[in-house]
């Protein structure tokens, strides 16, 4: 009997260890590429989810955090580099795209893209207009983000590994408040963290 229980015990450990790499939603289930999710704050008393907004009246639109508590924002979908499975692991490169189209700046996709640093505020803001599933070159480097573990929840980061010859400036995504507008942008790893969770749409 003990000999039979030993391999079963090892199987349970293996399954549990594999699940530890999955990014889990607020229901405790692995997030997948075939579902839509709201990215909401890990601290529920701090603003709302993410949406689209224009900076300086120009296109493409940028990613902004709703200032209203309880506003879930716009749902997103995730795309992995490899299509061999639908589950998302933390610390892997993913594309993030809003699951909506907009009449404003309709010529641009809603795929997240890290824009060049703003000359005035010296911040690289997260914009749209990227492409999904494109990897391996400098041009597509700014379309890839990652989800990292942070305490009991997660955080969003930019540190793509899809291009072997590229040298990206890695950092965490956080909110830069400019004139009461909350813009998602790139911060250094030693700056403050924006905890996030993923809730099924």
How do residues 101-160 score in pLDDT, each as one tens digit?
A: 777 888 999 999 999 887 666 789 999 999 998 777 777 899 999 999 998 899 999 999
pLDDT at res. 20:
66
Structure tokens at 165: 């010859």
Per the listing, tokens 């997660």 go with: 154
> What percent of the chain is modeled with pLDDT above 90?
58
Average pLDDT value for the chain: 86
Q: What is the DSSP string of 1-29?
A: -HHHHHHHHHHHHHHHHHHTTB-B-TTS-
Least confident of 13-17, 21-25, 159-163, 183-187: 13-17
* Cβ-contact 136, 5 below 8 angstroms: no
Residue 60, preceding bond cis, omega within 30 degrees? yes
Sequence-separated (6 or more) residues with CB below 8 Å from residue 112: 63, 95, 96, 97, 98, 126, 127, 128, 130, 143, 145
Summarised one tens digit per residue, pLDDT across range 56-108 is: 778 999 999 999 988 999 999 999 998 888 999 999 999 999 988 777 888 99
Q: How far apart are CA 66 and CA 70, in angstroms?
A: 9
Which CATH number describes the domain made up of 24-200? 2.80.10.50
Q: What is the pLDDT of residue 105?
A: 86
- Residue 119 pLDDT: 65
> pLDDT at position 11, please?
36
Across the range 11-36, mean pLDDT stands at 76
Look-up of token digits 């993923």: 198
Which pLDDT score, from 0 to 100, does residue 120 have?
Answer: 62
Long-range contacts of 116-122 (CB under 8 A, 24+ apart): 121/176, 121/178
pTM of the full predicted structure? 0.87
Bridge partners of 38?
Answer: 199
pLDDT at 121: 63
Element (H, E) at 148: strand 145-150
């Amino acid at each position: 009997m003990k000999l039979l229980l030993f391999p079963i015990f090892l199987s349970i450990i293996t399954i549990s260890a594999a699940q530890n790499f999955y990014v889990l939603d607020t229901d405790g289930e692995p997030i997948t590429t075939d579902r839509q999710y709201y990215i909401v704050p890990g601290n529920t008393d701090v603003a709302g989810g993410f949406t689209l907004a224009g900076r300086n009246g120009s296109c493409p639109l940028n990613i902004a955090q709703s200032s209203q508590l309880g506003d879930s924002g716009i749902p997103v979908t995730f795309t992995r580099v490899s299509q061999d499975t639908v589950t998302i692991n933390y610390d892997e490169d993913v594309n993030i795209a809003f699951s909506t189209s907009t009449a404003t700046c309709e010529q641009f996709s809603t795929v997240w893209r890290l824009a060049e640093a703003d000359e005035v505020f010296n911040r690289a803001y997260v914009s749209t207009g990227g492409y999904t599933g494109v990897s391996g070159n400098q041009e597509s480097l700014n379309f890839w983000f990652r989800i990292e573990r942070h305490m009991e929840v997660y955080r969003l980061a930019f540190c793509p590994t899809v291009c072997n010859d590229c040298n990206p400036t890695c950092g965490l995504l956080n909110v830069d408040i400019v004139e009461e507008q909350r813009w998602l942008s790139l911060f250094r790893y030693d700056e403050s963290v924006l905890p996030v969770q993923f809730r099924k749409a």
